[in-house]
Amino acid sequence: MAKRGPESGANMRRFGAVRQYRSGRWTASYLDRSGERHRSPETFDSKTDAEIWLSQVEADLTRGDWRAPDVGAVNFQEYALEWVEDRDLSATTEELYRRLLRLHLLPQLGELDLDEITAPGVRKWRTERLKATGATTVAKTYRLLKAILETAVDDELIRRNPCRIRGAGKESAAERPTATVEQVDALADAVGPRWRLMVFLGAYGPLRPEEQAELRRKDVNLDAMTIRVRAAAPELTTGKRAVGDTKSDAGRRHIVLPGFLHKDLRRHLDWYAEKPQDGLLFIGPKKGPFRRSTFGRTWRRARKTVGMPEGFRFYDLRHTGHTLATRSGATLKDTMVRAGQSTERAALIYQHSDLDRQREVAGGLDRMVREARRKASEKPKDGGGGAEVVRGA
């Protein structure tokens, strides 16, 4: 007798049903809680195998772990780009994420559905990326991939995040170099009078370049020797300045400057800052806003003139400022407030470093730099061609 086809009858169970095809193989089906019928994605060698599969589905439904079989059939590229679009990211962070997607994720994973991205596949992708680019870039990209797929888990599109490589998102950057007081002075000389104050604010503020780019004349109180940081204007790779909020809430702050900067600050306001109260503090020779590309050439020439390592970035002046402030007696919280950094540690959130304490830190910096300059002036001249060190006021 011929076996019955899949629609000619079924072996009914308490949950679901199994059927036998004419070929002798078995299939299974069940109703979800909405009443929609789902069939097994593959056939089975025996009735027992089909019933075991149904039992696993029933257990998932009972635990609340069940999801529709095709729910993960969402294209990764479409989901990832929408993920970036839906987030309230800063212009620089959005630019970074899109670049990492374009260069390091979409070429390998862009055509896959979310449920096709597996833990072995992620490990293989990371191994290939490490052979092709730097470890820091791979770590950043891995963190982005993990965050996107974690949202997919929250959206119940996949059951578990396949990014499970311990430590893969951790960056192991080399310790950044710091400059001495003499080197900071020499760099300030070498960049020229227009950008001299920018070097000092980078080291003794310590202000980020994008914060300096948006400083206005009205933000400077020459009598109190303070600068108010209200916004930032990072420059994107397109050359466009993205004026917006500071890197974090802690970035909006008042900075008390050490007294030795009074003459440089006053001269800059008189000679270079735009005259209206809302005018920019730093502008280029052609009266336009500060540009990273233009200043970058000036910075590289100054670095070479002073004999600084080629890898010493303008941003490393902030590292220098952290170090000098700590040596002058500043606490960890003091340096965090001064540099506009935030932390999630409750012990630090509820500590305070007010303007009076900031004045003490600035005073410590002032005394330390003046003493270093005094000692430098007492050194015998060696006749070398190094940059002349400008003395303080």
Lateral strand order in the sheet of 11-12: 11-12, 17-20, 26-31, 37-39
- Tell whether 326 and 249 lie within a shared domain: yes
pLDDT band at 155 (very low <50, low <70, confident <90, very high): confident
Q: Look at the chain and count its residues.
A: 393
Q: How many CA atoms lie within 13 A of 333 on its CB side?
A: 13
Q: Where residue 313 falls among pLDDT bands split at 50, 70, 90?
A: very high
- Look at residue 167 in the predicted model and tell me its pLDDT: 92
Q: How far apart are CA 47 and CA 18, in angstroms?
A: 7
Is residue 99, in this structure, part of any structural domain at all?
yes
Do both 126 and 274 map to the same domain?
Answer: no
Amino acid 74: pLDDT: 87
Question: What phi and psi values does residue 220 have, to the nearest 5 degrees?
Answer: -105, 130
Q: What's the total number of domains in the chain?
A: 3
Q: Which of 159-163, 194-198, 282-286 has the highest mean pLDDT?
A: 194-198
pLDDT at residue 41 greater than cutoff 70: yes
Q: Do 19 and 143 fall within a single domain?
A: no
* Whole-angstrom distance, CA of residue 28 vs CA of residue 39: 6
Instruction: Give the pLDDT band of residue 165 (cuts 50, 70, 90).
Output: very high
Tens-digit pLDDT profile for residues 95-130: 999 999 999 999 999 999 998 999 999 999 999 999
Confidence check: pLDDT of 64 > 60: yes
Which has the closest alpha carbon to 70: 115, 31, 34? 115
When pLDDT is averaged across residues 166-186 and rounded to a whole number, the result is 86
What token pair was written down for 36? 């929609």
Which residues touch 6 (CB under 8 Å, ≥6 apart)? Answer: 19, 20, 21, 27
Identify the pLDDT of residue 72. 55
Question: Of the candidates 173, 125, 117, 123, which has an alpha carbon nearest to the alpha carbon of residue 150?
Answer: 117
Position 205 in a domain: yes
- Sheet harboring 220-221: ordered strands across? 220-221, 226-229, 253-256
Q: Is the pLDDT of residue 225 over 90?
A: yes
202 and 299 in a single domain? The answer is yes
Torsion of CA 331, 336, 337, 338, to 10 degrees: 90
**Residue 30's beta-bridge partner residues?**
38
pLDDT at 12 over 70: no
**Does 108 lie in the same domain as 56?**
no
* Residues 187, 312 within the same domain: yes
pLDDT mean over 11-26: 81
> Are 92 and 42 within one domain?
no
**DSSP assignment letter at 34:** T
Residues 144 and 256 placed together within one structural domain of the fold: no
Q: If you average pLDDT over residues 67-89, what whole number do you get?
A: 84
At residue 4, the pLDDT reads 42
- Does 128 map to a domain? yes
Mean pLDDT across 374-380 = 88
Helix 355-377 and helix 316-327, axial crossing angle in degrees, nearest 10: 100
pLDDT at residue 380 in the model:
80
Q: Is residue 199 part of a domain?
A: yes
- Is 5 part of any domain? no
| Residue type, position 265, single letter | L
Whether 236 and 306 have beta carbons less than 8 Å apart is answered as no
Q: State the angle between helix axes of 119-132 and 135-154 in degrees (0 to 180), rounded to the nearest 10.
A: 160
Domain assignment present for residue 267? The answer is yes
| Cα–Cα distance for residue pair 146/161, rounded to 1 Å | 7
Q: What are phi and psi of 379, to 5 degrees?
A: -70, 140
What is the C-alpha to C-alpha distance for residues 292 and 296, in angstroms, rounded to an integer?
6
User: Residue 229 falls within a domain, yes or no?
Assistant: yes
Q: Which domain holds residue 119?
A: 76-154
Q: Which residue has the higher pLDDT, 198 or 173?
A: 198
CATH assignment at residue 269: 1.10.443.10
Q: Please name which of 367, 358, 314 lies closest in space to residue 340, comparing C-alpha atoms.
A: 358
CB 240 within 8 A of CB 270: no
Query: Cβ distance 125 to 112 under 8 Å?
Result: no
- Tokens at residue 336, please? 């965090």
Are residues 200 and 311 both part of a single domain? yes
Question: Within this chain, do residues 146 and 273 fall inside the same structural domain, yes or no?
Answer: no
Q: Does one domain contain both 190 and 307?
A: yes
Mean pLDDT of all residues belonging to the chain: 85
- pLDDT higher than 50, residue 385: no
- Cβ atoms of residues 37 and 58 within 8 Å: no
Q: Are residues 55 and 197 in the same domain?
A: no
Question: For the residues 10-25, what does the mean pLDDT come to?
Answer: 79
Task: Examine the pLDDT at 20 and tell me if it is beyond 60.
Answer: yes
Proportion of the chain above pLDDT 90, given as a percent: 48
